[in-house]
Amino acid sequence: MKQYLALCQRLIDQGEWIENKRTGKRCLTVINANMTYDVGQNQFPMVTTRKTFWKSAIAELIGYLRGYDSAADFRQLGTKTWDANANLNEAWLNNPYRTGDDDMGRVYGVQGRRWSKPDGGHIDQLKKLIDNLSQGIDDRGEILTFYNPGEFHMGCLRPCMHTHTFSLLNDTLHLTSYQRSCDVPLGLVFNQIQVFTLLALIAQITGHKAGLAYHNIVNAHIYEDQVELMRDVQLQREPFDPPKLHINPDIKSLEDLETWVTMDDFEVEGYQHHEPIQYPFSV
């Protein structure tokens, strides 16, 4: 939480105004922010200076791991976060690759689970790394990447948090996650939860201790219509101690994740928070 607030304050104090063509809005922007989460100690990085919809964030992550490409599937899991990008973005609505309502195209999980090979067939990056890590193998390339420039034109949005690298040091698993673009008031609140939960889940499934998750962000920004709420409301609040995340210990395999896991298999203990803040969302 301290790292999050420090980044928000840095944006307010040192951010530069940058025009964004895609949304037509200006953003206060800084480059490079690195956060570290102690997953082994279960210090769940949930924002306490406003109410956080953590189930929605975890649902988004599970949807990526299942390879979902439809906002309807995300809704069914428990999050509406892809509705706007799938159904309200003018450029995507006019894109010939869009197959209909709620289609997101070849984004995130599609690349993670079904990366198209030029010579035919697909690659399941997640299955490969889970199989390796379960056998104690770290080939120094245990990477899940959603970043496929050759297919950007076939999806509604380029992935923001796009690459996750797992590292096994003896019996402890670490994660380094890389994010190219970060909406600090909205997206980051979810992304912190996702990085933490991804390491906790994969460590549990592959039978290792969870260590540290490193979250490396390049372009961190606040949209112009979010600045006042951040500066005058959220940053005036005192944070509470972090809560803890509990994951159902019966989740033991990728197949479990794919078949029966719901948001009821996740619990947060000791979450104290301030009032919700509704930040404007830019499509």
Ligand X SMILES: O=c1ccn([C@H]2C[C@H](O)[C@@H](COP(=O)(O)O)O2)c(=O)[nH]1
Ligand Y SMILES: Nc1nc(=O)c2c([nH]1)NC[C@@H]1CN(c3ccc(C(=O)N[C@@H](CCC(=O)O)C(=O)O)cc3)CN21
The site for ligand X (CB under 6 A) is made up of 22, 157-158, 160-161, 181-183, 187-188, 191
Q: Which does 161 bind (CB under 5 to 8 A by kind): ligand X, ligand Y, none?
A: ligand X
Judged by CB under 6 A, the residue of 77, 86, 161, 189 near ligand Y is: 189
Q: With CB cut-offs between 5 and 8 Å by kind, which of ligand X, ligand Y, none does residue 22 bind?
A: ligand X
Angle between helix axes 125-134 and 187-206 (nearest 10 degrees) is: 50
Please enumerate, as own/partner, the contacts of 88-94 that have beta carbons within 8 Å and a separation of 24 or more.
Answer: 88/283, 89/156, 89/157, 89/283, 92/156, 92/157
Question: In degrees, to the nearest 5, what angle opens at C-alpha 112 toward C-alphas 178 and 150?
Answer: 85
Calculate the CA 200 to chain-centre distance.
14
Site size toward ligand Y, by CB under 6 A: 13
The nearest distance, CB 268 to ligand X, in angstroms, is 20
Binding mask 118-157 for ligand Y (x = CB under 6 A): ---------------------------------------x
160 is catalytic: yes
> In angstroms, what CA-CA distances link 153 with 123, 141, 159?
20, 27, 12
> Counting Cβ atoms within 10 Å, is residue 134 exposed (0-12), middle (13-18) or buried (19+)?
middle
Q: Nearer Cβ to ligand Y, position 158 or 246?
A: 158
Q: 165 by DSSP, 3-state: which?
A: strand
Annotated binding-site members for dUMP: 22, 180-183, 191, 221-223
Q: Indicate the annotated binding residues.
A: 22, 180-183, 191, 221-223, 282
Binding site for ligand Y (CB under 6 A): 53, 56, 79, 81, 85, 157, 183, 186-187, 189-190, 281-282
